[in-house]
Chains A and B, each alone.
Chain A
Amino acid sequence: MDPDHLGYLIDRYLPALVLYARQWCHAPEDVVQESFIKLAKQREAPLHPVAWLYRAVRNRAISESRAERRRQTHEGKAAARTALWFTPAEDASGLDAQSATVALGSLPLDQREIIIAHLWGGLTFEQIAELTGGSAATCWRRYAAGVVALRQKMGVPCPTGKTT
């Protein structure tokens, strides 16, 4: 793979991929690093490198979560509880990073995964459907349900004034 393109992917998608991997495991940086290395090892670059990276990160993170479950490290659990998923916004009108982390963490995994992949990863719902093994329509429904649930948990009022 072209080093410049690889550098662009690292600059653009590294934080989002770490956030995505964080849904399963407590060492997301290692998972993302191994995925980038795996991408560099490919003799032919994949057609959609971002989707490929998300798939690699997902598989590796799930495998890592199984290993973590076996180890049952208390340190990892404590670190996962205290780590913020987002940087605090300097803009006062922005959402609170702490409450967003808590609300997002309380969502079911299938909704949370789709929201992160779509909002911060930029994947389309077709790509997310290929990633998760469902249909694009199902992904869309889960995404909408998850965003509604987030808004409720974070106490953000509906723009139309309705309380959903």
Chain B
Amino acid sequence: MPDRQDDLNPGSDLAPFADALKRLAPQPAHLSRDALLFEAGKAAAHSRMPAWVWPSATALFAAISIVLAGFAATPSTPHIEYVNVNVSQPMPDRPPSTDSIDLTEAPKAAKPRSAEDQERTRMLQVRRDVLRFGVDMLPEPKATRQGPSQEVAAREVAVWLNLPPGTFTSHRAQPKKPDPEEDDK
């Protein structure tokens, strides 16, 4: 070992001089022990956590405090509670327009209030059936009951179906213009 060499080596006659040298005290450092310990402690504490953590946490909690203070400073608004109440309201009495009626689906819960409404509903249903399945869907005229004449009935059907006039007239019944060739003969 070199330290043992220092003692056991023939050159150990250097030991008294080395001891005398060792007794010379180095100049004291111009450093404050407490300041050095404080700086060391501060550095040790800083090294355990990244530098941005505390400023970020401070800013976050400051922002939360400002928001909560804003809520506390504003006057409280009255508490509004919304309650759903089902109120039965009569439908407005207006004439039904044929454009707004859904022809694909029959009215479900609409209850006719009068005979006129019932008749109108029945007519609309007949009209829908005629438009869908043809003229055969027209109701059979009742023999026992004396109804309107055929001409009046055809006119009513034409009105119901919105057909142009003369759709159901027979060509045979129409007066025919005399042929000029026959006159010549």
Contact = CB atoms under 8 A, between A and B. Distances in A.
B44 A14 contact: no
A144 B14 contact: yes
A129 to B, nearest CB: 8
Contacts of A120: 22, 26
Interface stretch (B27-35, B72-80, B98-106): B27-35
Contacts of A10: 33, 36-37
Contact of B27 (A85, A91, A125, A126): A85
B183 to A, nearest CB: 130
Interface of B is mostly: helix
A129 B28 CA distance: 27
11 contacts: A14-B29, A15-B29, A16-B26, A29-B29, A36-B36, A37-B43, A39-B40, A86-B27, A87-B26, A147-B21, A158-B13
Interface of A: 1, 3, 6-7, 10-11, 14-19, 28-29, 32-33, 36-37, 39-41, 43, 83-87, 89, 91, 94-95, 97, 100, 115, 119-120, 124-126, 136-137, 139-140, 143-144, 147-148, 150-151, 156, 158-160
Interface of B: 1-3, 5-6, 9, 11, 13-14, 16-18, 20-31, 33, 36-37, 39-41, 43-44, 47
